[in-house]
């Protein structure tokens, strides 16, 4: 079946031939993502229920979030994966930031993980965690079509970019793996224990 003219002229990032690194560097995506955290909105979305309020990053929530992070930054040979960036560890650190708490990021991320797990059960009769990579990918593409799902994935991506770019002192970017991949020279002076962002 032939694509429409509009679809034929649209070039997606994954079809452009750019590597993930090139895309991030050339598009200015790093600056944009770090400059403006996504606004969270649940308006008009059924299923992302405010009554579902998981309290903590328990084993299930952790596994769901880490799995989604891997889909957002996979181990595909094009730069460090979410696991290599210590993205989950960095996320836990970021959730202690008073500004992020005031924005209710912690609750939104936890709520989204619970929602994704419920959605997987509704759609497949199985936990998101036991689905194949392709099945998980299909569910993530489906939830990205909703406002809340798109916001949730955008927020996780925002924190992944922070894990990639911030000083290793904050828990992500171990051994400066993200900096080396992007050929980034950090600013000076660098933070030291006791004089980091949260200490002020």
Quote the tokens at residue 91: 């996320």
pLDDT for the residue 182 = 85
Report the greatest alpha carbon distance in the chain. Answer: 61
What is the pLDDT, as a whole number, of residue 128? Answer: 95
C-alpha triplet 167, 77, 65: angle, nearest 5°: 60
Q: Nearest to residue 166, comparing CAs of 97, 65, 78, 117?
A: 97
Q: Give the pLDDT score at 154.
A: 92
Ramachandran region, residue 125 (left: φ > 0; alpha: ψ -120 to 50; beta: rest):
left
Q: Do residues 183 and 177 lie in contact, with contact meaning Cβ atoms separated by under 8 Å?
A: no
- Pick the closest to residue 96 from 41, 69, 56 (CA basis): 56
Nearest alpha carbon to residue 109 among 126, 131, 87: 87
Residues of the chain with pLDDT under 70: 1-55, 196-200
Token duo for residue 100? 């992020």
Whole-number pLDDT of residue 110: 93
Q: How far apart are CA 186 and CA 164, in angstroms?
A: 12
Are residues 157 and 33 in contact, defined by beta-carbon separation less than 8 angstroms? yes
The 10 Å Cβ neighbour count of residue 60 is 15
Q: Give me the pLDDT at residue 187, please.
A: 78
């Amino acid at each position: 079946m032939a694509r429409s003219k509009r679809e034929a002229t649209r070039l997606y990032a994954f079809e452009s031939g750019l590597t993930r690194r090139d895309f991030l560097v050339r598009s200015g995506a790093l600056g944009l993502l770090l400059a403006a955290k996504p606004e969270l909105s649940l308006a008009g979305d059924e299923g992302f229920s405010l009554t579902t309020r998981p309290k903590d990053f328990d084993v299930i929530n952790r596994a769901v979030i880490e799995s989604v992070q891997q889909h957002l930054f996979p181990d595909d040979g094009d730069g460090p994966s979410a696991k290599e960036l210590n993205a989950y560890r960095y996320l836990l650190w970021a959730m202690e930031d008073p500004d992020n708490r005031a924005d209710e990021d912690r609750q939104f991320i936890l709520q989204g993980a619970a929602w994704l797990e419920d959605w997987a059960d509704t759609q497949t009769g199985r936990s998101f965690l036991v689905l194949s990579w392709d099945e998980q990918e299909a569910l993530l593409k489906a939830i990205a079509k909703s406002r809340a799902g798109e916001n949730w994935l955008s927020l996780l991506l925002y924190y992944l970019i922070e894990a990639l770019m911030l000083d290793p002192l904050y828990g992500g970017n171990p051994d400066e793996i993200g900096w080396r991949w992007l050929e980034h020279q950090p600013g000076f002076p660098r933070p030291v224990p006791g004089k980091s962002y949260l200490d002020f």
